[in-house]
Amino acid sequence: MARPPVLPGPRPEWLKIRVPAPEVVAEVEGLIRSQRLVTVCEEARCPNLHECWGLHRTATFMLMGEVCTRHCGFCNVGKGRPGALDPGEPQRVAEAVAALGLRFAVVTSVNRDDLPEGGSGHFAQTIRWIRTLSPGCGVEVLIPDFRGSEEALLTVLEAGPDVLNHNVETVAHLYKRVRPDADYRQSLQVLRRAADWRDRRAPALRVKSGIMVGLGETPEQVLALMADWREARVDITTIGQYLPPSPLHLPLDRYVEPAEFEMYREKGLALGFQKVESGPLVRSSYHAKESFGG
């Protein structure tokens, strides 16, 4: 029997996307293919791909393959048993960053719970290669929780990213349904430890996190999460509309109105966040360079 539609009515006007600079997008896509790289922009079907690639010269590279060891209900990345790490991948990512003249690179990964250090060394190598080949390029890393390993987190931090991002993804109340293999408190601990490192060792570092809305959370739960972020001393946050990649993913509960996103932005700034990117089309790396620059 076919599953019911996952969208509550037609997509509203504020979620319709304009496609700028197709020639630049084609350039980025061609180089990514030639270097045998993966971007989360494509894997997650991000609605801002053309804007980020075509206008802002920002791309989000996904390390360690296309298969994730976890089973989040919102994610379009494949699940299962990943293959071996490619030792040449960090250098190839850095070569692509240099060839494209990127001003800001975001590096993320699938979860690799099959690896003792969760792939943290692979992140560190990638950061160092980008620093070597593109000294002026900013680097944000969007990391998994490394199963709570403080050692793995320190491996990444010691490589010197500009932004340490770890997404909480949803409110605590929905964690078992949305992120069955993760733990809300553990994710907050990752952010708190990163902020502790920043305060002791790297004051220019920014700590960042984000969520999707429209999965069944209430505004009060979102505001409670934002308070938890601030208690963990998160600097930058992103809040965007969840859009199911397919009928097999978690259903959409509602389209969140632009006024509600603006309320989150205003409340977040009042709480003390350095930057709050809150809007229907916002994704984790949306306006990454501009958010880092304040």
Summarize the confidence of residues 76-90 as an average pLDDT: 88
Q: Alpha-carbon distance 292 to 162, whole Å?
A: 8
pLDDT at residue 184, rounded to an integer: 97
Give domain limits for the chain. 18-293
pLDDT at residue 294, rounded to an integer: 46
pLDDT at residue 3, rounded to an integer: 46
Q: Alpha-carbon distance 38 to 110, whole Å?
A: 11
pLDDT at residue 2, rounded to an integer: 40
Summarize the confidence of residues 27-43 as an average pLDDT: 57
Percentage, residues of the chain above pLDDT 90 = 61
Q: Residue 183 carries which side chain, given as an amino acid letter?
A: D
Summarize the confidence of residues 139-143 as an average pLDDT: 96
pLDDT at residue 186, rounded to an integer: 98
243-264 tens-digit pLDDT? 888 888 899 999 999 999 999 9
Q: Alpha-carbon distance 208 to 166, whole Å?
A: 6
Locus of tokens 């505001």: 223
**Three-state DSSP state, 19:** coil
Among 5-9, 153-157, 290-294, name the one with the lowest average pLDDT: 290-294
Of 76, 77, 14, 22, whose CA–CA distance to 49 is shortest?
A: 22
Mean pLDDT of all residues belonging to the chain: 85
pLDDT confidence band for 138 (50 / 70 / 90): very high
Summarize the confidence of residues 231-241 as an average pLDDT: 97
pLDDT at residue 44, rounded to an integer: 47
Is the pLDDT score of 5 beyond 80? no
Q: Alpha-carbon distance 222 to 186, whole Å?
A: 18
Percentage, residues of the chain above pLDDT 70 = 78
106-127 tens-digit pLDDT? 999 999 999 999 999 999 999 9
37-52 tens-digit pLDDT? 555 554 445 555 555 5
pLDDT confidence band for 12 (50 / 70 / 90): confident
pLDDT at residue 37, rounded to an integer: 54
Assign residue 159 a region (left: φ > 0; alpha: ψ between -120 and 50; beta: otherwise): alpha
User: Residue 58 pairs with which residues in a beta bridge?
Assistant: 104
pLDDT confidence band for 164 (50 / 70 / 90): very high
Is the pLDDT score of 291 beyond 80? no
Summarize the confidence of residues 17-22 as an average pLDDT: 54
Among 114-128, 205-219, 234-248, name the one with the lowest average pLDDT: 234-248
Is the pLDDT score of 232 beyond 70? yes
pLDDT confidence band for 78 (50 / 70 / 90): confident
Q: Residue 126 carries which side chain, given as an amino acid letter?
A: T
Superfamily of domain 18-293: Aldolase class I (3.20.20.70)
Is the pLDDT score of 196 beyond 80? yes
